[in-house]
Amino acid sequence: MEKKYWRSPEELTNQAIISNEEDLIPEGKNLLDIIDEEIAQKPSSRRNFLKFCGFSFATAAIASSCENPVKKAIPYLNKPEEVTPGMASHYASTYFDGSEYNSILVKVRDGRPIKIEGNTLSSVTRGGTTARVQASVLSLYDGSARHTTPLKEGNPASWSGVDGEITASIREITAAAGTIVLLTSNIISPATKKLIEEFKITFPGVKQLTYDPVSASGILMANRDCYGQAVIPDYLFDKAEVIASFGADFLGTWLSPAEYTSRYIKTRTLTNDEKKLSYHIQFESGLSITGSKADKRVAIKPSEEAGLLLQLFSELSVKSGQTSVASGIPVEAISELAGKLWAVKGKSLVVSGSNNPNIQILVNAINNLLENNGSTIDFTAPLLTKQAMDSEMEELVSQMNAGTIGGLILWNVNPAFDYYNPKAFISGIKKVKLTASFSPVVDETQEYVKFVLPGHHFLESWDDAEPRRGFYSLSQPTIRPIFNTRQPQDSLLKWMGRDGDYYTYLKSFWISDILKSNEQTWKTTLQAGVYETAAAISSVAFNTQALIPATEALAAVKKSESIEVILYQNIPMGNGMHTNNPWLMELPDPISKVCWDNYASLSPESAAELGVEAGNTLNVNGIELPVFIQPGQATGTISVALGYGHTNFGKVATGIGLNVYPLTFFEGGTRGFVNSAAKVEKGGGEYKLASSQMHGSMEGRPIVRETVLGSYLESPDSGNELHAEFEKKHVTLYKETEYKGHHWAMAIDLNTCIGCSACVIACQAENNIPVVGKDEVMKTRAMHWIRIDRYYAGDNNNPEVVFQPLMCQHCDNAPCENVCPVSATNHSSEGLNQMSYNRCIGTKYCINNCPYKVRRFNWFRYATNDKFDYNMNSDLSRMVLNPDVTVRERGVVEKCSFCVQRIQEKKLLAKTENRPLGDGEIIPACGQACPAKAIVFGDLNDPQSEVSRLFKDPRNYHLLEELHTLPSVGYLTLVRNKEENKA
Amino acid sequence: MYKTDVRGPLILGDKNYRQISDDIIAPINQPIPGWWKVAFFIALLMTIFGVLALYQTVAVGLGTWGVNNSVGWGWEIINFVWWIGIGHAGTAFSIFLLILRQKWRTSINRAAEAMTVVAVMCAAIFPAIHMGRVWLAFFIFPYPNTRGPLWVNFNSPLFWDFIAISAYLLISASFWYFGMVPDFATIRDKATSKIKKAVYGFFAFGWTGSSREWLRYEALSYVLGGIAAVLVVSVHSIVSTDFAVSVIPGWHTTVFPPYFVVGAIFSGFAMVMTLMIIIRKMYKFQDYVTNSHLNAVAKILVFVSLIMGTAYATEIFIAWYSGSEYEMFTFFKNRITGDYSFQFWSMVICIPVKRLSSFKLDDLQSDLGRNRYLCRYTWFIYDWRTVVLQVYPNDSH
């Protein structure tokens, strides 16, 4: 027998030899050194010689035969200190588009901003974002709409040339005692405000006017009359036990949605220890996401609002021992509401979205009766993001037409598109001698403007913001200006003849005026992005003088018999300044699920009355709008979204939808958004809308499980009894997989999800998801990895609405994995259902077999394809792509990965820091963006983790759990605060 | 000749062997007839269209088709199942009749087997081009590779399909070819030109027609027949698992394997009959493919259609009996009364019409018409099977 030699006892007993050293690359050596050493150690034999020959020939053959595209990567000559290639940096900054504020972190990879996240340090937005904020990073790279250079009469010009001409012109006009108007959107930057004041001193003829196409003038005027302060108070939804909203979509578009959402959900969550829910009633005409979340929603015509508020006021007056005021026929819902409000006096809140100052005065009076001022309504830190008074613009247009305005400088405004009477504005601007626009992108107004002085995108700018009094934040550039643009503030400084740029101005202003400190504080503040000062507590006294004329005026309002056309801002587009953003354009409206168009929403009854059905068009004052039948729309009303129908606003926006701003009007000092005088008739055309969800019913499946608060308090698993039943039946013939390390899972609270769709855009930005266009959406080929399913329940005229975010469920017993012939989709040892794109041959069997329908196929090549000319077709717009995520090839299947790149990043970070991974450290893009924090991600193997806790909650269930797919996503039942138990 | 009291004559016209050989070979020596050129031209046009469509699919992407993110399969899988299905009939026809020693089989089996081979080749196109990245189709082959543990997924019915189709193609092509060897020899012997003699001689494998050769020929036929008989049942059963192993209501059905096999034989026999009616008319083979042969095929069709009817009834019964409202929705609401009711009812009506009419074969023209309908509607069955059943995912989205 041959002798057996052994080196160690392990070898003798045939055990694996564990050697850690050998696997590691010795420190201080690179790979080439190691290879060299290897070669040096090995004697050069014939075998080795042939090996190297073979390798060299093969390499040479491959290198010479395969033609690889030449990609230029230019290394840093001097590497910046803070940049490590492959590592992202985050910079705190501020998003403010002229009406919506958000404190953000900008993720920068290799010098380019690629993603926006909420800044959790901000006590205003608390880390939440909205879809518009998430999408704003894409507009930075909008090569089709952004100006590349200053223009004079449409021709490229130089900055020095236009500066000279404008300065001369300003001097000339002011010397002749003429007026130059700086027409701006809402400005919340204290430094800019100061700068404008200084500009006005330098040039005495200059005055600043604020214009906001969808303003809050009604509230401002009412508060001026009632409290002597034209401000918007802070609405503390978290302190209110009863919330009554009259048409205010405060979770979607009203004033400061991200902020209000974070407050609202505090009283709407059951995952904290308090088992309490606030009561929310919504009176509205069109179905909004806020109305969808309400415990009770009443569909009303806008003209009914005055009567209802009068009744409410009257009943509350009686309760408080005062005399009642005249009101119409009492409505039961209001009497009930009055009782509820009165019961929690001081802990209730009534808001209205109306722009009619009289209504807002009445709302103030109601809140005053309920003693809400100082408790749920706070004047200490009023909201400053809405300052525009509609009457200012009105006056300006008449002055322009009268020829008394010498110069008009437009700053972030586009009145030729969004003014209710664009003709008057255009004829006026033609009479103005000096016209200039600071707009960074092309817009409709620039056609009539002599100088276009493009500003930076906000991600290229220095700025500051004060969204609420005492709450400051800073913006910092995260990329060098891509084009030859200049910040408007720099232009003002230049024209004033000041040395130094706006950055120096801003910094010295902050150090001296806001921080009142030194450079070090400035640096730390800049790093945090936010700064707060305690404002002096301000209490207000209600001036009843204003109430009497208001109630008299409102009492005269009768319920209109005609069809009322409501012009509203929808979630993706806001007031229309984001229309050229393809991500937002393809974001389905949370309620209607329609994208790529605006349309006339009609109730089924109204549609029958007008003799139209889906697919027809409706002629509203000559505008042919596509008809959309919207359950829950108040009968006798039509809702149409603003912001569409641009004629010159970049390649995506131009020609999409119809501009309904001309249907708005100016009346009683404010702009009206409810047009009851419009002529509505059946149109002649046919029009197909692109909808991402055609089916609103769950077909009796327990997909969304819900209950009411009473039943929930009795038994926490109410509405979710099936879960326990299915858990009991959980048997399998096969060995169950054990997850030894991590086991990733996600819990989604249906109670706090408001359907706002910020997650959809966040996911799109994070995961390089292509935009496919209207035609493809119509073929059910939208690519979003996360979608918000919306289901209706109950009455077709006023349905209950539920939202359910749906992404890959990462089933532990996944139907898709079994059927893939090439194992391109498989299960990771951490419970992730993963896709290897390189292996996928595109049989689409997994798509068929996925019961949740969350898999997406690349039907075409979406990147670098002229047919999909959205954001992946030019070098500039592709800069937004996340380098951590593959851009998928045509013919492969893709789907949610639980943001595996983020998991990997944090795991590696924890490993290099030699510590266990903390709970909540990994946040997928959707969860990060969520203003309601409804999406919780974590490790199920960690019993202390938030997600483990939520999985143990009796409300937790899995989707289609009867199929035994064992999803890693859990949903928490929806609990409504109402009486009857439909379950 | 071959006249039995029960069956009647196998070949009409009281012919001797020489006449038979001459008659059968006649089309080969004739100049190509005009109708053939017209038919070939039409077929060529269709092929060119098909090639263009394939080019479009590969060059632009699967987006040129109507399928979407809820329903990933459409016509391509319908075509695949249909072609595989009709391919079955050839094998089933040959083998079952061979095993049952039905002599009249010889009049039709060659055409049936040829149809099988061609149909299976057609069928193989579709699973290939339905892939998003057809150029990587070889990933599905279990070949030795350098990817370590990354191997094909033996759990996937698509992989089973691949194995089933390749095995089936191999066996049916062999069966077809070996069956033709004596015939090639006959043509070789009768051929006048040297080239023809050489070519047919090559294909005839030096067949001399000795008793020993015939003995081995018979043995080989039975061996191949035995293997193929198993395949007839297994291939379409495997194809049916593409649907049956999924979790989708209306697909997840255990009745599928027998149901698919029977459906395949049904449509395939109808196709064989359609082809034979044309061939015997155009090549004047009425004496060889006699009315009584076609009548026998028609009887089989009637029998198979009864099995099909039972399968449909079972499917609908089980949908009701399962108590699952989603199964009920798929079968009752969607098919019987819903969007697909036209296809459903035309199928249901078509089968009894066929059943009633197929006993009498006097008027071959009208029979041909009926057969076409039969084929078309069996096609509909598959159309409907694959598309209709996907309405559920469509709705859920």
Q: A616-620 and A623-629 as β-strands: parallel, antiparallel, unpaired?
A: antiparallel
> What is the overall mean pLDDT for chain B?
79
Measure CA A803 to chain center.
Answer: 16
Q: What is the mean pLDDT of residues B345-361?
A: 53
Q: What is the pLDDT of residue B143?
A: 82
SS3 A50: helix
Size of chain B, expressed as the number of residues it contains: 397
B212 to chain A, closest Cα gap in Å: 46
pLDDT of residue A87: 86
- Chain B: residue nearest A843 by CA? B131
pLDDT of residue A534: 78
B149 pLDDT tier (thresholds 50, 70, 90): low
**A223, A224, A229, A231 alpha-carbon torsion, rounded to 10°:** 50
B-proximal residues of A, 600-659, CB under 8 Å: none
Q: Which residues, numbered 755 to 794 in chain A, qualify as contacts with chain B under a Cβ-Cβ cut-off of 8 Å?
A: 776, 779-782
Percent of chain A with pLDDT over 70: 92
∠A948-A953-A955 over CA atoms, to 5°? Answer: 130
Q: Residue A670: pLDDT above 50?
A: yes
Confidence category of residue A1, pLDDT binned at 50, 70, 90: very low
Q: Supply A786's token pair.
A: 């996360």
Q: For A840-865, what is the mean pLDDT?
A: 92
**Which of A704-708, B62-66, B304-308 has the lowest average pLDDT?**
B304-308
A804 phi and psi angles, rounded to 5 deg: -140, 105
Mutation to test the B interface, candidates A827, A846, A859, most B Cβ within 10 Å: A859
Distance CA(A459)–CA(A93), nearest Å, equals 8
Taking the Cβ of residue A851 and every Cβ of chain B, the question of whether any pair is shorter than 8 Å is answered with yes
Helix (H) or strand (E) holding A207: strand A206-210
Task: State the helix-helix crossing angle for B256-282 and B109-129, rounded to 10 degrees.
Answer: 130
**DSSP string of A122-174?**
-TTTTT---HHHHHHHHHHT-TTTB-SS-EETTEE--HHHHHHHHHHHHHHHH
CA separation for the pair A751, A704 (Å, rounded): 11
- Which among B71, B75, B76, B133 is the top mutation candidate for probing chain A, defined by the most A β-carbons within 10 Å of its own β-carbon? B133
Where is pLDDT greater, at A643 or A13?
Answer: A643
DSSP string, A565-606: EEEE-BTTTBTTTTTT-HHHHTSPPTTT-EES---EEE-HHH
pLDDT bucket at A662, cuts 50 / 70 / 90:
very high
- The predicted pLDDT at position A607 comes to 92
Question: What's residue A545's pLDDT?
Answer: 85
Which residues touch B119 (CB under 8 Å, ≥6 apart)?
B83, B84, B86, B87, B90, B268
Calculate ∠ Cα A429-A433-A437, nearest 5°.
Answer: 60
Rounded average pLDDT over A211-218? 93
CB count in 10 Å sphere of residue A778: 16
Listed residue (A647, A649, A627, A653) closest to A638, CA to CA: A627
Q: Are A544 and A538 in contact (CB under 8 A)?
A: no
> B62: nearest CA in chain A?
A859
- The whole-number pLDDT of residue A431 equals 93
Between CA A759 and CA A785 the distance in angstroms is 10
Q: Is residue A693 less than 8 Å (CB to CB) from chain B?
A: yes
Residue A79: per-residue pLDDT: 78
Q: What is the pLDDT of residues A152-201, one digit of tens each?
A: 999 999 999 999 999 999 999 988 888 999 999 999 999 999 999 999 99
Distance, in Å, from the CA atom of A293 to the CA atom of A278, rounded to the nearest integer, reads: 12
pLDDT band at residue A18 using 50, 70 and 90 as cut-offs: very low
Find the mean pLDDT for residues A317-321: 87
List, in order, residues 6 or more apart from B294 with CB less than 8 Å away: B273, B276, B277, B361, B367
Within 124-143 of B, beta carbons closer than 8 Å to A belong to: 127, 130-134, 136-137, 139-140
To which residue do tokens 């993720």 refer?
A107
Which residues, listed in sequence order, are joined to residue A842 by a DSSP beta bridge? none
The pLDDT tens digits of the residues spanning A799-816 come to 999 999 999 999 999 999
Tell me, what's the pLDDT at B363? 40
Residue A42: its pLDDT value, please?
63
Residue B159 has pLDDT above 80, yes or no: yes
d(CA B4, CA B305): 29
- The distance of A848 to chain B (nearest Cα, Å) reads 6
CA–CA dist A200, A496 (Å, integer) = 10
pLDDT at B379 over 80: no
**Comparison of pLDDT for A752 and A21, the residue scoring more:** A752
Nearest CA in chain B to A859: B63
Domains of chain A, each with CATH number or no CATH: 19-65 (no CATH), 151-215+388-528 (3.40.50.740), 217-383 (3.40.228.10), 560-691 (2.40.40.20), 706-976 (3.30.70.20)
**pLDDT tens-digit series, residues A493-524:** 999 998 889 999 999 999 999 988 888 999 99
A841-855, A888-902, B88-102: least confidently modelled range? B88-102
Q: What is the pLDDT of residues B95-135, one digit of tens each?
A: 888 878 777 777 788 888 888 888 888 888 888 899 999 99
Mean pLDDT of chain A: 89
| Candidate from A323-327, A792-796, A946-950, A961-965 with smallest mean pLDDT | A323-327
Residues A735 and A756: their CA atoms lie apart, in Å, by: 41
State the pLDDT at residue A854: 93
pLDDT tens-place string over residues A328-353: 677 888 999 999 999 998 999 999 99
Predicted confidence band at A260 (pLDDT cuts at 50, 70, 90)? very high
In B, which residues are within 8 Å of A857 by CB distance? 62, 69, 72, 132
pLDDT at A413: 94
Higher pLDDT, B363 or A632: A632
Least confident of A169-178, A611-620, A948-957, B341-350: B341-350
Compute the half-sphere exposure of residue A520: CA atoms within 13 Å on the CB side of its CA.
0
Residue B369's pLDDT band, with cuts at 50, 70 and 90, is: very low
How confident is the model at residue B350, as a pLDDT?
60
Residue of A nearest to B149 (CA): A823
Strands A893-894 and A706-708: unpaired
pLDDT tens for residues A909-920?
Answer: 999 999 999 999
Q: What angle do CA B311, B313, B317 make, to 5 degrees?
A: 115
Q: Do A699 and B151 touch (CB under 8 A)?
A: no
Alpha-carbon distance of A355 to B112, in angstroms, equals 80
| SS3 assignment, position A671 | strand
pLDDT tens, position by position, A463-473: 999 999 989 99
* Residue ranges covered by each domain of chain B: 9-65, 84-139+153-245, 247-266+286-397
Position B383 scores a pLDDT of 38
Instruction: For residue B261, give the nearest of B211, B302, B311 by alpha carbon.
Output: B311
Q: Which residues of A touch B323 (CB under 8 A)?
A: none
Contact predicate A818/B156, CB 8 Å: yes
Tokens linked to B195: 């080239």
Per-residue confidence (pLDDT) for residue A11, from 0 to 100? 52
Give the percent of chain B with pLDDT over 70.
83
Minimum mean pLDDT among A315-324, B327-336, B354-363: which range? Answer: B354-363
Chain B nearest-CA distance from A697, in A, is 8
Given a contact cutoff of 8 angstroms between Cβ atoms, the answer to whether A490 and A501 are in contact is: yes
Does the pLDDT value for residue A366 go beyond 80? yes
Phi first, then psi: give them for residue A744, nearest 5 degrees: -70, 145
Integer Cα distance of B268 and B258 in angstroms: 15
How many CB pairs (< 8 A) connect A and B?
137
Output the CA–CA distances (angstroms, integers) from residue B339 to A246, A537, B249, in the order listed. 43, 67, 17
pLDDT at residue B364 greater than cutoff 50? no
Chain A residue closest to B152 (CA)?
A: A822
Contact B62 A819 (CB under 8 A): no
**Chain A touched by B373 (CB under 8 Å):** no
